[in-house]
Amino acid sequence: MDKISIIVSCYNEEKALPLFYEEIEKVKNKDFQDVEFEYIFVNDGSSDKTLDIIKKLSEKDNKIKYISFSKNFGKESAMYAGLEASTGDYVTLMDADLQDPPSLLRKMYDIIKNDGYDCVGTRRVTRKGEPPIRSFFARIFYKLINKMSKVEMVDGARDYRLMTKQMKDAIISMKEYNRYSKGLFSFVGFNTKWIEYENIERVAGETKWSFWKLFKYAIEGITAFSTVPLILASAIGIIFCLISFLMIIVIIVKTLILGDETNGWPSLVCIIFMVSGIQLFSIGIIGQYLAKTYLEVKKRPIYIIKEKNF
The CA distance from 219 to 235, in Å, is: 20
Rg (CA), the chain: 25
**Nearest CA-CA partner of 64 in 34, 49, 86:** 86
Contact 141, 175 (CB under 8 A): no
Comparing CB distances to Mg ion, the nearer of 38 and 95 is 95
Binds ligand UDP by CB under 6 A, chosen from 7, 40, 67, 78? 78
Which stretches of the chain bind Mg ion, using CB under 5 A? 95, 97, 99, 202
Q: Does the footprint of ligand UDP cover residue 72 (CB under 6 A)?
A: yes
Residue 13 interacting partner from Mg ion, ligand UDP, none (CB closer than 5 to 8 Å by kind) = ligand UDP
> Smallest distance, Å, CB 163 to Mg ion?
20
Question: For the chain, give me the number of helices (H) and strands (E)?
Answer: 10, 8
Q: Does the footprint of ligand UDP cover residue 151 (CB under 6 A)?
A: no
Binds ligand UDP by CB under 6 A, chosen from 47, 70, 207, 234? 207
Comparing CB distances to ligand UDP, the nearer of 181 and 282 is 181
Q: Does the footprint of ligand UDP cover residue 191 (CB under 6 A)?
A: no
Comparing CB distances to ligand UDP, the nearer of 75 and 168 is 75
Site for ligand UDP in 98-127 (CB under 6 A): 99
Q: Which long-range contacts (CB under 8 A, 24 or more apart) does 51-60 make?
A: 53/14, 53/17, 53/18, 54/10, 54/17, 55/309, 57/17, 57/18, 57/21, 58/309
Q: Does the footprint of ligand UDP cover residue 47 (CB under 6 A)?
A: no
Site for ligand UDP in 13-42 (CB under 6 A): 13
Comparing CB distances to ligand UDP, the nearer of 25 and 36 is 25
Tell me how far apart the terminal alpha carbons of the chain are, to the nearest angstrom. 22
Rounded to 5 degrees, what are φ and ψ at 116? 75, 25
Span of 95-103, 181-189, 191-199, 270-278 interacting with ligand UDP by CB under 6 A: 95-103
Count of other CB atoms within 10 angstroms of residue 174: 13
The CA distance from 168 to 266, in Å, is: 60
Comparing CB distances to ligand UDP, the nearer of 74 and 102 is 74
The CA distance from 44 to 119, in Å, is: 26
> Smallest distance, Å, CB 134 to Mg ion?
12
Comparing CB distances to Mg ion, the nearer of 99 and 226 is 99
Residue 186 sits at the vertex; the CA angle it makes with 125 and 132, to the nearest 5 degrees, is 30
> Smallest distance, Å, CB 17 to ligand UDP?
9
Span of 7-15, 101-109, 110-118, 257-265 interacting with ligand UDP by CB under 6 A: 7-15
Give the number of residues in contact with ligand UDP, rule: CB under 6 A.
Answer: 17
Comparing CB distances to ligand UDP, the nearer of 27 and 271 is 27
The CA distance from 254 to 247, in Å, is: 10
**Nearest CA-CA partner of 145 in 187, 98, 97:** 187
Binds ligand UDP by CB under 6 A, chosen from 9, 192, 223, 226? 9
Binding site for ligand UDP (CB under 6 A): 9-11, 13, 44, 72, 74-75, 78, 95-97, 99, 202, 207-209
